[in-house]
Structure 1
Amino acid sequence: MKVEFAPLNIPLARRLQTAAVLQWVLSFLLLAQVCVGILVILIIQNYWFLYIPYLTWLYFDWNTPEQGGRRSNWVRSWTIWRYFKEYFPIHLIKTRDLDPSHNYIFGFHPHGVLVAGAFGNFCTNYSAFQELFPGFTAYLHVLPFWFRCPLFREYLMSSGPVSVSKKSVCHVLNKEEGGNISVIVLGGAEESLDAHPGKFTLFIRQRKGFIKIALTHGAYLVPVFSFGENELFKQVSNPEGSWLRTVQEKLQKIMGFALPLFHARGIFQYNFGLMPYRKPIHTVVGRPIPVQQTQDPSPEQVEELHQTYLEELSKLFEEHKGNYGIPEHETLIFK
């Protein structure tokens, strides 16, 4: 295989875009381990004046990810996130106006490998979110595991993510005057194992907890589809039933997160590496589904609203797929 190297005369802006995405990928893959390692070294070297104050503070701060987090407008406004957004680039598209007197649950699809579209649109100040949805605050819910990593949790929360636990989602949706949006990647870690280019498999049929929460809080449901999310990486072939998929699924059940074996391009060449491809991401926000608050919803009510959500998600995909080069015969597959 002939290696295709990046030309030397690439504009500075594109080099900065690559650097921005590289730090994001490395942060996702390595920063949590580095932070834990730093804390271990501090303990081993007995720098008690550093780790004892931090661990004491951590004890009292432990539930913050379930209580709205601790976002930093300064961190969300770092110039590096503008270059991150422009690398792909990432776009946010609104199809309907939202009433800021209501709270909403955005069901984000698909998960992809690293959920770049969700991060770029809802965790930085460089997306069109504030212009398209004035008066709203979006909270991206991620695995609670990430908030159990000392030091790393502080960096993660600064961009705005909060835990995906029921308690955390309820906290966001409890805002009486409305204006809060819970962004939940409904397919979760399991769906990332099916994040192959050209595939549209969503793990959603058994995901009904968000429906019950929406009913109990009267939160409107909004399907969101991020076109291009699955095109950023390739994965080692792992069809269901294969030994690799079996191992991945077992590890996912044990650890709570999946380990897709992905690859794409490199920093200085285009043939292999862990950098995502420069593929555009178009995150389309669909029509809100009105939800009547029901304190104790029945299984039938949950099932009915879940079916309505699936229908609206399918409509959203069908109405917009042609705009982003998806063949007419392609359709969503619900698992």
Structure 2
Amino acid sequence: MKIEWAPIKVPLKRRLQTLVTGLFTLFFFTLPLTSSLLILLLLFYGGLIIRTLVVMYTVCIYVQHKRNYSYMKGNGFMLNRTNCVYRMYRNYFPVDLVKTADLPANKNYILASFPHGILGTGICINMGLEISKWLELFPGVRPKVATLDQHFVIPFLRDLLRWWGLISVSKESLTYYLTKSNDAKHTDNSDGFTSNAVAILVGGAQEALDSHPGQYVVTLKNRKGFVKLAMRTGSAIVPCISFGEVDIFDQVANPPDSLLRRWQTAIKNSTGIAPLLPVGRGFFNYTFGFLPYRRPIVQVVGAPIDVVQNAQPSADYVDKVHGQVMDALQQLFEEHKAKYVQNETTKLIIR
């Protein structure tokens, strides 16, 4: 295999962007494991005081998560939602955000986001780490990103995720955020925001398994839970597409009938986490490594689809709105792919 080395003379700004992106990527791939290992090391090697503090901390976050889903009020600490380091991470690719319609801050929203890609990088940057562009385009609307519930009972990992605006994807947690008052005078809105927008990567781990450069394969046909949730909470559904999300990593070939895919699917079904084998670039080469490729990601936010609030929506109404979401997603893709997809013949495949 011929290695393509990065040039020696690279501007310092780009070197810093690569360094920051490498650190974040390593964190995201390893945080659940390293957080757990750190707790075990502290319990094994720490003295009585350290062990006691670790046990108290672990019990405290578990109880708190069961009580209030690890809720973070408002946008959290803004220093952890936008700063120069996070902007370096954004500018590495770069990641952009495109608005196609207003999201009035008088209601809450579910952003049905596709595709998942390997890490959901575009969504996590725009609505988690570096939210300055979001706040500019959608004033009064707090951005949240939903991720696996089990992450919020892992010490250290849980706090990092909360600081970055991530929330649990459990039904109870989502309902909590999506039923928050939109009254500017309500005590929950003392930060000046009156709406919550929760991004859900609907395709989840299954969609991540289908992530390969140039292929827009989304898992949606049998995913109707977010539609029912929107109806029960009265939230509007906003289709979103992150163009380029599938291009920043490749992964080892895993066609549906392969032994590797069967193994990945078995792990996913038992743990909820897909054991991906991503292929990227290195710090000093473009041939192999764990860093994402420096390719643009553009999150296009579609127009909201309003629903009739109903605690027990009928199956026919759920199917109707679900069909509207699929049609809107297809339309959004076709309208914008000429700008953001290299091959204009690319189709959005909905499974």
TM range (shorter): over 0.9
Show the 5 A alignment for 1:216-235: 216-235=232-251
Residue in 2 that maps onto 1:197: 213
Structure-2 residue corresponding to 1:236: 252
Decide whether aligned partners of structure 1 residues 59 and 3 sit closer, same or farther in structure 2, where only a CA change above 3 A counts: closer
Which SS does the other structure have where 1:327 is aligned? Answer: coil
Equivalent residue, structure 2, for 1:39? 39
Does structure 2 retain, via aligned residues, the 8 Å contact 1:81–1:126? no
Tell me the residue number matched to 1:4: 4
Superposed CA deviations along residues 157-178 of structure 1, whole A, max 9, x for unmatched, are: 1111001011111011111215
Matches within 5 A, 1:84-163: 84-163=89-168
Corresponding residue number in structure 1 for 2:175: 170
Shift of 1:331: 1.7
Q: Which amino acid in 2 is paired with 1:218?
A: G
Which position in structure 2 is the counterpart of 1:58?
61
- What SS class does the counterpart of residue 143 from structure 2 fall into? strand
**CA distance 1:17–1:65, change in 2 (3 Å):** farther
3-state SS of 2:116 partner? coil
* Contact 1:72–1:160, Cα closer than 8 Å, also in 2: no
State which drifts further: 308-317 or 146-155: 146-155
TM-fit CA distance, 1:79: 2.2
The runs of at least 4 consecutive aligned structure 1 residues that moved more than 4 Å come to: none
Q: State whether structure 2 residue 335 is matched by structure 1 residue 319.
A: yes
CA distance in 2 between counterparts of 1:201 and 1:49 reads 51
Unaligned runs of 5+ in 2: 183-193
199 and 217 in structure 1: CA distance in 2 versus 1, 3 angstrom threshold: same
Q: Aligned-residue CA RMSD in angstroms?
A: 1.6
Query: How many pairs does the alignment contain?
Result: 335
Residue 209 (str. 1) matches residue 212 (str. 2) = no
Tell me the residue number matched to 2:263: 247
The amino acid across from 1:57 in the alignment is C
Give secondary structure in 2 for the equivalent of 1:63.
helix
Among 184, 203, 210, the residue aligned to 1:187: 203
Matched, 1:263 2:279: yes
Give me the TM-score of the superposition, normalised by structure 2.
Answer: 0.91
- Secondary structure of the residue aligned to 1:222 is strand
8 Å Cα contact 1:215-1:295 kept in structure 2: yes
Cα distance in 2 between the residues matched to 1:208 and 1:48? 49
User: 1:126: how far off?
Assistant: 4.8
* Structure 1 residue identity aligned to 2:24: W
1:78 Cα deviation (Å)?
A: 3.6
Q: Is the 8 A contact 2:57 2:155 kept in 1?
A: no
Question: CA offsets, 1:307-333, max 9 Å, x none?
Answer: 011001111001000111343432211
Q: Deviations over 1:134-163 (max 9, x none)?
A: 000011000112222211111121111001
**Counterpart Cα distance in 1 of 2:84 and 2:134:** 17
Percent identity of paired positions between Structure 1 and Structure 2: 37
Q: Describe the SS at the equivalent of 1:207.
A: coil
Instruction: Pick closer, same or farther for the CA change 1:258–1:104 going to 2, 3 Å.
Output: same
Q: TM-score, normalised by structure 1?
A: 0.96
69 and 189 in structure 1: CA distance in 2 versus 1, 3 angstrom threshold: farther
